[in-house]
Amino acid sequence: MKTMQVPQDDDVLSSMIPTVKRFMGYMSPHKLKLALVIILMAVFALLEAIFSLLMGTATNIISAGHGPVEPLFRVIIWLLAGAIIIWISGAISQKLLSNISQEALYQLRIDLFAHIQKMSLGFFDRRPIGELMSRVTNDTQVIEQFISIGSLQTGQAIMTIIITSIVMLLVNPSLTILSYIVVLALVGVSWLITKTSGPAFVLLQDKTGDLNGFAEEWISGAKTVIACRQQDAASRRFSAMSRKVANIGEKAQFSALISQQVSNIFTTIVIVILLLVGGIMVMDGMAEIGTLIAFIGFSFSLLGAFTTIFSSYAQILNAVVGASRVFEVLDEKPGVDDRKDSPAMPAVTGDVIFDHVDFSYIPGRRILTDNTFHARPGQVFGLCGPTGAGKSTIINILTRYYDIENGAIRIDDKDVREVRQDTLRVQIAQVQQEPFLFSDTIMANLKYAREGATEEECVQAAQQANAHDFILQQPNGYNTVLVDGGSNLSQGQRQMLTIARAIVANPRMLILDEATSNVDTRTEKLIQEGLLALQKDKTSFIIAHRLSTIRHADQILVIDKGAIIERGSHTELMKKKGFYFDLYMSQFRGKLSGIVKE
């Protein structure tokens, strides 16, 4: 699990501005609505200031103790009208900002998800699925919470400070300076508090993301957790991580609560000072009592606005951190990318050449060394060797999930690095050892293989894969919804569906990764029949631990420590009595595997 130090406040602020600017780019298509929101905020703030003035005017009228009551009624009517306008402007502002924020977040989410879909396998090797899910869901939700609610409160507070300060200066500069002495003291104390609470909230978000990622991973792997009897260990680790989150959260929340209490204290102080100094000014005839009452109202507005800003600071930081985590993913470049002028891969015949290929997942740690072979159209190539020898890696670079270091891979004399990846992979179907199915209908899962595939083609493919009969036995036949990756089917049934899906794809080339290793003998026979139908007239690569599955291969590549150490047909390799012979005999006669010459 990664560790993270508490970020310094200056670091947080320095990274905030570019992140905010970038997110504002998502809101820029709604400039007119944003402008209207700002205008409505200004109206709201101006009316608040006018409210204080009207309260002062009403106080002067009442303190006179005689005269007509019509002026007081007019003040009351203006107050009521202002309250209605404030309510309407606030409601419209919230509605507009909610619309803007949801549209911006919609675009951000689809950009993030689409970008993740374009990333190479190396990206997923480096990042746990739980962490990515936290970026897509938790971080965007934090942004949404601030933009839809917190941004309106913060923006309104800033507008209130600006307009109220202007009105105060126009009414009485002396009382304005007096009020701001206390207000600026509040700003200073609150800033000191946020230097502690701000970074704590940033760390809280990061650790919460780790906690969510851990929970998702271990809940997804519940079967393995139960099988390995790791329930208690998982609970202990989750408890330890939760305790860290709780401790950081306690510190952050305590700082935020202290800020509120400080604000209450300074509110009392400013009232006392205004009453003391302002009262003397009123008694000396330097100001009206209504002006003093108005300034008490102004001060309440100012203090409330500054308190809102500082109390929203943590929420602002959370949103900025969430946005920066999202942008961090968006800024990642695919490890394997097409050149701008890459042409589409034409329809291939399946002539594959590996020409002195070297490859490393991590620089300096060679996985494949000088791999050279030639698979002609329609040939079946078997790949075998010890675990970790590099069999799957050969497939990963053939389909260009990763780019090679040295040498070249050519299909029909075209270097795979010179053509668009999508047009290459659409011609190569894969059947994995662990079948993956989506939570959708059986028919939809079959149609995923090829855009425009018809139901008739899918049914025909299922028949070729020996899946048609068991599909019809499902509650709703081809319209049966699969749940949790097809957990309502057996392992063999899931595998037969993936074979049918590969048949629907109508590929030019085929990759089989130990497709029958997890099924019983009877099911294996059915699957093998489906695979033979799928392999017909296609260049095929079969990764095998169970060597009986590649006896029929035209060529078998024996791989060890990233190098091809033997090659030939099953009969040829058995005659050599080398590495392959030992592997084969260890499976069928119980001999220990290893290189044992006879």
DSSP code per residue over 488-557: TS-HHHHHHHHHHHHHHH--SEEEEESTTTTS-HHHHHHHHHHHHHHHTTSEEEEE-SSGGGGTT-SEEE
Number of domains in the chain: 2
506, 540, 555 - which closes a domain = 506
Residue 428 pLDDT more than 70? yes
Strand-by-strand arrangement of the 428-431 sheet: 428-431, 509-513, 539-543, 380-384, 555-560, 563-568
438 in the same domain as 323: no
Examine residue 326 and state whether it is found in any structural domain, yes or no.
yes
Mean pLDDT within 436-449? 89
Question: What proportion of the chain, given as a percentage, has pLDDT over 90?
Answer: 20
Measured in residues, the chain has a length of: 598
Residue 374 pLDDT more than 90? yes
Mean pLDDT within 410-419? 93
Residue 596 pLDDT more than 60? no
What are the φ/ψ torsions at residue 24 (nearest 5 degrees)? -60, -25
Mean pLDDT within 362-389? 90
- Pick the closest to residue 384 from 512, 254, 530, 282 (CA basis): 512
Residue 5 pLDDT more than 50? no
437 in the same domain as 315: no
Average pLDDT, the chain: 81
Q: Residue 4's pLDDT is what? A: 41
Q: Residue 520's pLDDT is what? A: 63
330, 365, 390 - which closes a domain = 330
At 261 the three-state DSSP class reads helix
Q: Residue 373's pLDDT is what? A: 95
Q: Residue 6's pLDDT is what? A: 42
Residue 141 pLDDT more than 80? no
> Band of the pLDDT at 310, cuts 50, 70, 90?
confident
Least confident of 67-81, 103-117, 160-174, 372-386: 67-81
- 11: Cβ–Cβ under 8 A, 6 or more apart, which residues? none
- Which token pair is 32? 């007119």
Neighbour-count burial of 288, counting CB atoms closer than 10 A to its CB (0-12 exposed, 13-18 middle, 19+ buried): middle
- Pick the closest to residue 138 from 7, 333, 323 (CA basis): 323
Residue 590 pLDDT more than 70? no
432 in the same domain as 283: no
CATH number reported for the structural domain that contains residue 223 in this entry: 1.20.1560.10
> Band of the pLDDT at 1, cuts 50, 70, 90?
very low
Least confident of 106-115, 340-349, 527-536: 527-536
Which position has the higher pLDDT, 526 or 92? 92
Determine if the pTM surpasses 0.75.
Answer: no
> Band of the pLDDT at 314, cuts 50, 70, 90?
low
In contact, 517 and 433? CB cutoff 8 Å = yes
**Rounded to an integer, what distance in angstroms lies between the CA atom of residue 53 and that of residue 103?**
39
Examine residue 541 and state whether it is found in any structural domain, yes or no.
no
Least confident of 100-114, 208-222, 497-511: 208-222
Examine residue 393 and state whether it is found in any structural domain, yes or no.
no
- 1: Cβ–Cβ under 8 A, 6 or more apart, which residues? 210, 214, 241
195 in the same domain as 83: yes
> Band of the pLDDT at 223, cuts 50, 70, 90?
low
Q: Residue 593's pLDDT is what? A: 42
Q: Residue 125's pLDDT is what? A: 76
Examine residue 415 and state whether it is found in any structural domain, yes or no.
no
CATH number reported for the structural domain that contains residue 436 in this entry: 3.40.50.300
Residue 12 pLDDT more than 60? no
445 in the same domain as 320: no
Q: Which domain holds residue 75?
A: 9-330
pLDDT digits (tens, 9 = 90+) for 283-296: 777 778 888 888 88
Examine residue 67 and state whether it is found in any structural domain, yes or no.
yes
Mean pLDDT within 570-592? 82
Q: Residue 3's pLDDT is what? A: 41
490, 506, 522 - which closes a domain = 506
Least confident of 334-338, 412-416, 476-480, 511-515: 511-515
Number of H helices, E strands in the chain: 22, 10
- 569: Cβ–Cβ under 8 A, 6 or more apart, which residues? 553, 554, 555, 556
Q: How far is CA 33 from CA 22, 41, 43, in A?
A: 19, 12, 15
Neighbour-count burial of 22, counting CB atoms closer than 10 A to its CB (0-12 exposed, 13-18 middle, 19+ buried): middle
Residue 576 pLDDT more than 60? yes
CB atoms within 10 A of CB 238: 14
Mean pLDDT within 185-200? 68
Biggest CA-to-CA distance, the chain? 124
Examine residue 303 and state whether it is found in any structural domain, yes or no.
yes
Q: Residue 306's pLDDT is what? A: 80
Task: Report the relative pairing of strands 406-411 and 352-362 from DSSP bridges.
Answer: antiparallel
